[in-house]
């Protein structure tokens, strides 16, 4: 499988005083159409790397599978842009089921926004892992400094699985959701226990992102970007500590501060 995530483009650059011809480096976008049991399920616009992890994580996020072992065959045709999945237990996939909203009976104020598949697969996180503010900054710096793809293109998102000591694995993609799905696929493929893990992320903390973190099972999400109100409501409901705007020696803690050592006795 190709590991190319970027390519060169001709460009005309204004350098502050004049226009010059130059060569720029840009992130590659790649359409991957996923078939499940012979039926077209979705087309993902993604970076053309780590596609098996992406497909596994995406199908788990959508509730098609729960474990990697639910897949009997997974074949990726990168040249043509197709992924073919055969499940061990065949199922009839109703696409409407995966897009209609369901109002749940949970008392959490954000639960009425769940999709059917989210209600089945998102879980409340019970992790007791704690982390310091200094470790949040260190993990964010490590992820950013290790991403040559972002440093060269500025056009990809990064998602990393971490312990409090450092990064374990990091994935990049033009889509922030894809980066998380690649991370999820890696965790499922390698049966990684997640009770003591955190996810460091470059993208906005939306409700969809928080739901993916709940499905992955990590208790701490650290991002350099902003949250949305529904994202924070969901994080509060699902037991996830969200730390945002981690940059320039500042950060905001939005939910479950008990996992942040310096803030564990404070309330939000």
Q: Could you give the residue numbers annotated as active site?
A: 107
Q: Which contiguous run of DSSP H or E holds residue 54?
A: helix 51-61
3-state secondary structure of 45: strand
C-alpha span between 156 and 152 (Å, rounded): 10
């Amino acid at each position: 499988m190709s590991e190319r995530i970027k390519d060169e483009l001709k460009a005309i650059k204004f350098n502050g005083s004049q226009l010059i011809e130059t060569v720029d480096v840009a992130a590659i976008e790649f359409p991957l159409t996923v078939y499940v049991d012979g039926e077209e399920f979705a087309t993902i616009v993604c970076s053309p790397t780590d596609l098996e992890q992406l497909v596994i994580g995406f199908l788990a996020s959508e509730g098609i599978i729960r474990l990697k072992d639910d897949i009997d065959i997974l074949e990726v045709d990168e040249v043509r842009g197709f992924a073919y999945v055969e499940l061990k237990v065949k199922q009839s996939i109703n696409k409407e089921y995966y897009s209609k909203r369901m109002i749940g009976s949970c008392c959490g104020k954000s639960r009425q926004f769940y999709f059917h598949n989210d209600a089945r697969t998102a879980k409340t996180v019970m992790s007791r892992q704690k982390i310091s503010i200094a470790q949040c900054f260190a993990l964010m710096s490590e992820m950013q400094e290790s991403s040559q793809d972002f440093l060269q293109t500025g056009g990809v998102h990064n998602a990393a699985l971490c312990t409090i000591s450092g990064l374990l694995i990091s994935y990049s993609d033009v889509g922030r959701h894809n980066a998380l799905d690649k991370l999820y696929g890696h965790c499922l493929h390698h049966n990684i226990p997640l009770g003591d893990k955190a996810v460091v992320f470059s993208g906005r903390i939306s409700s969809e992102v928080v739901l993916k973190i709940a499905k992955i099972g990590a208790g701490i999400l650290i991002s350099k970007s902003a949250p949305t109100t529904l994202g924070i409501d969901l994080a509060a409901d699902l037991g996830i500590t969200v730390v945002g705007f981690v940059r320039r020696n500042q950060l905001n803690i939005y939910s479950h501060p008990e996992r942040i050592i310096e803030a564990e006795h404070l309330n939000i």
